[in-house]
């Protein structure tokens, strides 16, 4: 954020010009990066485990343990390589004044895939330096333009997949706003044609390849006419290439209500949204599934992919010494998405079935976040026991 004197308009003009020039460069770079690596064919694959802070190290450690078990043969063959990446903590980031410390970034850039734990982002007014979100920084640096978040509630016939644009909107320039000293503040929002196209195209391609018949764009183009207007125009232009898929759009405010409408919500299938709306709506959707602790996400780019929990670092749990009771479901769901992305779809399906059985059906081992529930390790052990059940498919089908 830049603080300006009310009379210093020339400085404001220069600052805004710098922002525009930077974004023009970014758009040009997007145009050059338009072919995604097929990770199902790439071997070996180096998977970096980024532990983060707060409850991050506790849940990522359990995800790593589960993946080590399931990928034991691939690790022995050298097809999969695990890399430990520590240091992406709030303390290090504050000390160095960077969203991602240089040595951590170098290790990240040497990996193809990341399993990332949550990181703490300081809020304005906390007396902490204005450090950009590590998530936002990594998404930008690695150009992870697509944030994909699935939500399933089988007994209610809910099967949603959200495609959230990941590198634009208010998040891109959220730390670069202007405050006119003691009078008002202005933040900048950017949505580009090329940025909109690639996320919308991915959503339609996913729908076509996975048997979905409806793609819904979420927006507020009736009020935010320029940027959301661009997003919506691109949406309907892309939709013309997919005549067999129903394309419609809903405003963000009514969409939040419709997710709670039990009569209609199961009709929705694939969503595509700008960054901020995607962040908000997917948290609501995750709560319907069972809470933000149950939902994972994939961040997809042309060269890298990062899989993570959708929730934060839960510093209060650490302060109260409850970190050993943190729910690992979200990062384990993200690990399942990672396995699917790199070509281990059968293992991914087993994890998904185990999560449904554990969280929605049997509920024999329950995480509460406190000592009256299971520990992080105990819950992971429960999941592993279900995954290793040779009759897991029939065990799952009896609940559907």
pLDDT at 172: 82
Cα 377 from Cα 78, distance rounded (Å): 27
Task: Assign domain 33-144+301-400 to a CATH class.
Answer: alpha beta
The domain locations on the chain are 33-144+301-400
Averaged confidence pLDDT in the chain: 93
Over residues 28-77, the pLDDT tens digits come to 988 886 678 899 999 999 999 999 999 999 999 999 999 999 999 999 99
Residue 189 pLDDT > 90: yes
The pTM is what? 0.87
Radius of gyration for the chain, computed over Cα atoms and rounded to the nearest angstrom: 21
Q: Is the peptide bond before 194 cis (omega within 30 degrees of 0)?
A: no
Measured distance CA(321)–CA(312) in Å, rounded: 16
Pairing of strands 305-309, 296-300: antiparallel
CA distance 35 to 176: 30
- DSSP for 1-48, written as a single string: -EEE-TT-HHHHHHHHHHHHHHHHHHHHHHHH------TTT--SEEEE
3-state secondary structure of 190: strand
Q: How many helices (H) and strands (E) does the chain have?
A: 16, 13
Q: Return the pLDDT at 7.
A: 67
Q: Are 49 and 60 in contact (CB under 8 A)?
A: yes
pLDDT band, very low/low/confident/very high, at 290 (cuts 50, 70, 90): confident
Instruction: Using pLDDT thresholds of 50, 70 and 90, give the confidence band for residue 400.
Output: confident
Taking only the tens place, the pLDDT of each residue in 215-256 is 999 999 999 999 999 999 999 999 999 999 999 999 999 999
- Percent of the chain past pLDDT 70, that is, above it, reads 96
pLDDT, tens digit (0-9, with 9 covering 90-100), for 92-127? 999 999 999 999 999 999 999 999 999 988 776 566
- What the block records as the tokens of 1 is 């954020």
pLDDT at residue 140 tops 90: no
């Amino acid at each position: 954020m830049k603080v300006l004197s009310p009379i210093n308009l020339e400085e404001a003009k220069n600052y805004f010009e710098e922002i525009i020039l930077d974004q023009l460069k970014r758009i040009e770079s997007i145009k050059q990066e338009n072919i995604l690596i097929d990770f199902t064919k790439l071997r070996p694959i180096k998977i970096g485990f980024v532990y983060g802070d707060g409850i991050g190290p506790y849940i990522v450690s359990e995800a790593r343990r589960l993946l080590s078990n399931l990928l034991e043969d691939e690790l022995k063959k050298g097809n999969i390589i695990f890399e430990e990446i520590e240091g992406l903590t709030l303390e290090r980031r504050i000390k160095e004044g960077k969203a991602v410390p240089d040595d951590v970034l170098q290790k990240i850039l040497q990996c193809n895939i990341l399993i990332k734990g949550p990181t703490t982002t300081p809020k304005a007014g906390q007396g902490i330096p204005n450090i950009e979100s590590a998530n936002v920084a990594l998404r930008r640096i690695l150009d992870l333009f697509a944030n994909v978040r699935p939500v399933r509630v089988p007994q209610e016939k809910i099967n949603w997949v959200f495609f959230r644009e990941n590198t634009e909107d208010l998040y891109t320039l959220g730390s670069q706003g202007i405050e006119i000293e003691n009078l008002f503040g202005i933040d900048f929002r950017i949505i580009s044609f090329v940025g909109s196209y690639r996320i919308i195209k991915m959503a339609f391609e996913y729908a076509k390849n996975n048997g979905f018949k409806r793609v819904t764009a979420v927006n507020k183009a009736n009020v935010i006419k320029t940027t959301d207007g661009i997003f919506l125009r691109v949406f309907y232009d892309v939709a013309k290439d997919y005549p067999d898929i129903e394309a419609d759009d809903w405003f963000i405010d009514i969409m939040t209500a419709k997710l709670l409408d039990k009569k209609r919500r199961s009709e929705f299938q694939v969503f595509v949204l700008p960054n901020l709306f995607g962040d908000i709506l997917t948290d609501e959707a995750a709560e319907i599934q069972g809470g933000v602790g149950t939902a994972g996400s994939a961040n997809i780019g042309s060269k890298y992919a990062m899989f993570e929990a959708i929730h934060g670092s839960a510093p209060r749990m650490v302060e109260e010494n409850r970190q050993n009771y943190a729910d690992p479901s979200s990062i384990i769901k993200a690990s399942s998405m990672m396995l699917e992305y790199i070509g281990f779809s059968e293992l991914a399906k087993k994890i998904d079935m185990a999560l449904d059985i554990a969280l929605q059906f049997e509920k024999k081992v329950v995480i509460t976040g406190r000592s009256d529930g299971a520990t992080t390790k105990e819950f992971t052990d429960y999941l592993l026991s279900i995954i290793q059940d040779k009759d897991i498919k029939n065990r799952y089908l009896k609940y559907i």
